[in-house]
């Protein structure tokens, strides 16, 4: 109702319904980024594209710049360009083979490219180097892969406990989402834990986690 009220005011003031809707939408997105946190940064794709262009120029000049390749890998991964993400992370392996974030980034890129076994192996390497890498995110993909392949109950329960240990609303929601097709009871437990965790988070940190709490609530309502 409030959105509609503001829309009418802008429409009357501007005399153009489409322009009024556009301006109101942009204002809402700006407010969301500052205070609410439900939507992603709509300027992020433009910033990413600009930074990728800069880094590509750097590696042309200096092909041995593994730090640039690492950042490129992360940006390509964020932009869902998994082929180039894999290529970039692989160029880092000779000099950064002991870096957990390289194996994790490579693992994610391989996983989303459809090479799930290879991706899982790289993520396990990352966890061997640093058990806290990704703050629980690797266990989401490892759990999914286990559910889709071997379904070893002991391994599945171990991954679920790891997800619980990190216990952020995002990780709990994603774990619960993976389990919905296989174990409704455990899925419900994780989704409820996501909501309960969000409720005890201090107010100034809630913006970061609000989206995941909302998604968890929607999943529970849709069950």
Give pLDDT, residue 96.
95
Written as six digits, the tokens of 2 are 């409030």
In this prediction, residues 54-83 reach a mean pLDDT of: 97
Q: Which of 4-13, 22-31, 75-84 has the lowest mean pLDDT?
A: 4-13
Give pLDDT, residue 202.
86
Give pLDDT, residue 8.
61
pLDDT for residue 17 is more than 80: no
pTM of the model: 0.83
Inter-axis angle of helices 137-148 and 116-129, to 10 degrees?
140
pLDDT for residue 179 is more than 90: yes
Confidence of residue 32 (pLDDT cuts 50, 70, 90): low
Give pLDDT, residue 208.
85
In this prediction, residues 70-99 reach a mean pLDDT of: 97
156-173 per-position pLDDT tens digit: 999 999 999 999 999 999
**Listed residue (117, 123, 116, 122) closest to 138, CA to CA:** 123
Instruction: Please check whether residue 81 is in contact with residue 72, taking contact to mean a CB–CB distance below 8 angstroms.
Output: no
Confidence of residue 222 (pLDDT cuts 50, 70, 90): confident
We find that the CATH architecture of domain 45-132 is: Alpha Horseshoe (1.25)
Task: State the Cα angle at 102 between 96 and 106, rounded to 5°.
Answer: 130
CA distances from 223 to 16, 175, 177, 181, 217 (A): 42, 16, 11, 11, 10
Say which residue the tokens 């993976």 belong to. Answer: 178
Phi-psi region of 114 (alpha: psi -120 to 50; beta: other; left: phi over 0): left
Give pLDDT, residue 147.
96
89-144 per-position pLDDT tens digit: 999 999 999 999 999 999 999 999 999 999 999 999 999 999 999 999 999 999 99
């Amino acid at each position: 109702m409030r959105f509609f009220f503001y829309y009418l005011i802008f429409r009357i003031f501007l005399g153009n319904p489409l322009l009024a809707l556009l301006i109101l939408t942009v204002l809402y997105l700006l407010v969301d980024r500052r205070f609410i946190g439900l939507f992603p940064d709509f300027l992020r794709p433009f910033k990413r594209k600009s930074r990728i262009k800069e880094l590509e120029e750097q590696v042309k000049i200096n092909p041995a710049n593994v730090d640039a390749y690492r950042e490129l890998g992360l940006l390509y991964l964020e932009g869902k360009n998994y082929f180039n993400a894999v290529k970039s992370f692989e160029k880092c392996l000779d000099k950064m083979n002991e870096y957990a974030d390289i194996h994790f980034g490579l693992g994610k890129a391989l996983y989303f490219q459809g090479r799930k076994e290879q991706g899982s192996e790289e993520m396990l390497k990352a966890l061997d180097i640093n058990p806290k890498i990704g703050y629980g995110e690797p266990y989401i993909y490892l759990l999914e892969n286990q559910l889709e392949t071997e379904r070893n109950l002991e391994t599945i329960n171990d991954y679920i406990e790891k997800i619980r240990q990190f216990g952020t609303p995002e990780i709990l929601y994603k774990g619960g989402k993976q389990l919905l097709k296989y174990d409704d009871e455990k899925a419900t437990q994780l989704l409820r834990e996501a909501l309960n965790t969000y409720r005890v988070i201090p107010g100034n940190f809630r913006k970061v986690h609000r989206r995941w709490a909302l998604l968890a609530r929607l999943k529970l309502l849709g069950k």
